[in-house]
Chain A
Amino acid sequence: MSKLPDGRSEEVFEDFKSPYTEAQALVEANRCLYCYDAPCITKCPTSINIPEFIRKIATDNVKGSAKTIFDSNILGMSCARVCPVEVLCVGDCVYTAMGVPPIQIGKLQRYATDKAFEQEWDFFSAGPDTGKSVGLIGGGPASLAAAHELRLLGHAVTIYDKRDVLGGLNTTGVAPYKMPAARSVEEVDWVLSIGGIDVRTGVSVPEDISFEQIEADHDAVFVGFGLGPDRLMSVEGSDLAGIVGAVDAIEQFKLGSFDLEGVWNALIIGGGNTAIDAVREFIGLGVDRVTMVYRGTEAGMSGYTHEWKEAKMEGALAQYQAVPIAFIGEEGRVTAVRCQRLDLDKKPIAGSEFELAADLVLMAIGQSKLGDLLADVDGIEVQWGRIAVDENQATGRPGWFAGGDCANGGKEVVNAADEGKRAARAIHAHLTEAN
Chain B
Amino acid sequence: MADLSTNCAGIRSPNPFWLASAPPANSGDQIKRAFDAGWGGAVWKTLGTPIQNVSSRFGAINWKGSSGVGFNNIELITDRPLDVNFREIADVKKNYPDHAVIVSLMVETKEEWKEIIQRSIDAGADGLELNFGCPHGMCERGMGSAVGQEPTVNERITSWAKEYSTIPVLVKLTPNVGDIVPHGLAAQAGGADGVSLINTIKSIIGVDLDSLVPRPVVGNKSSNGGYCGAAVRPIALHMCAALARDPGFNVPISGIGGITNWQDAAEFMLLGSSSVQVCTEVMLHGYRIVEDMIEGLSDWMDDKGFETLDDFVGKSIPAYSDWGNLDLNFESIAKIDPASCIGCNKCMVACHDGAHQCIHPNEQGLHVPVIDEDECVGCNLCQIVCPVPGCITMEEVDNGFDPASWNQHLGEGKELRHKKGSH
Contacts from A to B (Cβ < 8 Å): 26-27, 30, 33-39, 58, 94-95, 97-98
Contact = CB atoms under 8 A, between A and B. Distances in A.
B349 A36 contact: yes
Given A38-B345, A39-B343, A94-B344, A33 B387 contact: yes
A36 B346 contact: yes
Given A98-B387, A98-B388, A36 B344 contact: yes
Interface string B341-363: 01111101100000000000100
8 contacts: A30-B64, A33-B387, A35-B346, A36-B348, A36-B349, A37-B345, A39-B343, A98-B388
Interface of B: 64-65, 342-346, 348-349, 361, 367, 387-388
Contacts of B343: 35, 39, 94, 97
Contacts, number: 36
Given A34-B346, A37-B345, 12 more contacts: A26-B65, A30-B65, A35-B343, A35-B345, A35-B346, A36-B346, A36-B349, A37-B361, A94-B342, A94-B344, A97-B342, A98-B387
Contacts of B388: 98
A98 B348 contact: no
A35 B344 contact: yes
Nearest to B343: A94
Nearest to A29: B65
Contacts of B361: 37
B143 to A, nearest CB: 39
A34 B65 CA distance: 15
A275 to B, nearest CB: 35
Given A33-B387, A98-B387, A98-B388, A58 B64 contact: yes
B306 to A, nearest CB: 35
Nearest to A98: B342
A186 to B, nearest CB: 30
Nearest to A27: B65
A95 B342 contact: yes
Contacts of A35: 343-346
Nearest to A95: B342
A234 to B, nearest CB: 48
A33 B346 contact: yes
Central interface residue in B342, B346, B349, by most chain A CB within 10 Å: B342
A132 B346 CA distance: 45
B419 to A, nearest CB: 27
B343 to A, nearest CB: 6
Central interface residue in A27, A95, A97, by most chain B CB within 10 Å: A97
Nearest to A92: B343
Contacts of A37: 345, 348-349, 361
A43 to B, nearest CB: 12
A36 B387 contact: no
A420 B347 CA distance: 36
B339 to A, nearest CB: 10
B15 to A, nearest CB: 35
A36 B361 CA distance: 11
8 A-B pairs with the lowest CB-CB distances in the bound complex, closest first: A30-B65, A36-B349, A97-B342, A36-B345, A35-B344, A94-B342, A30-B64, A94-B344
A94 B345 CA distance: 10
Contacts of A33: 344, 346, 387
Contacts of B64: 30, 58
A26 B388 CA distance: 22
A28 to B, nearest CB: 9
Nearest to B344: A35
A94 B387 CA distance: 10
Nearest to B361: A37
Contacts of B65: 26-27, 30, 58
Contacts of B348: 36-37
A38 B343 CA distance: 8
A409 B388 CA distance: 41
A38 B345 CA distance: 8
Nearest to A39: B343
A58 B63 CA distance: 10
Contacts of A26: 65
Nearest to A51: B344
A39 B342 CA distance: 10
Nearest to B391: A98
A98 B386 CA distance: 12
A36 B348 CA distance: 8
Contacts of A34: 346
A68 B59 CA distance: 32
Contacts of A38: 344-345
A360 to B, nearest CB: 47
Contacts of B345: 35-38
A148 to B, nearest CB: 32
A95 to B, nearest CB: 7
Contacts of B344: 33, 35-36, 38, 94
B392 to A, nearest CB: 14
A35 B367 CA distance: 12
A33 to B, nearest CB: 5
B66 to A, nearest CB: 8
Contacts of B387: 33, 98
B395 to A, nearest CB: 22
Contacts of A58: 64-65
A95 B349 CA distance: 18
Contacts of A94: 342-344
A335 to B, nearest CB: 55
Contacts of A36: 344-346, 348-349
A250 to B, nearest CB: 39
A30 B63 CA distance: 9
A150 B218 CA distance: 53
A196 to B, nearest CB: 37
A26 B342 CA distance: 23
Nearest to B209: A60
B412 to A, nearest CB: 45
A95 B344 CA distance: 9
Nearest to B388: A98
B147 to A, nearest CB: 41
Contacts of B367: 39
A35 B346 CA distance: 6
A37 B64 CA distance: 21
Contacts of A30: 64-65
B351 to A, nearest CB: 10
A38 B344 CA distance: 6
B357 to A, nearest CB: 14
A352 to B, nearest CB: 48
A36 to B, nearest CB: 4
A94 B64 CA distance: 18
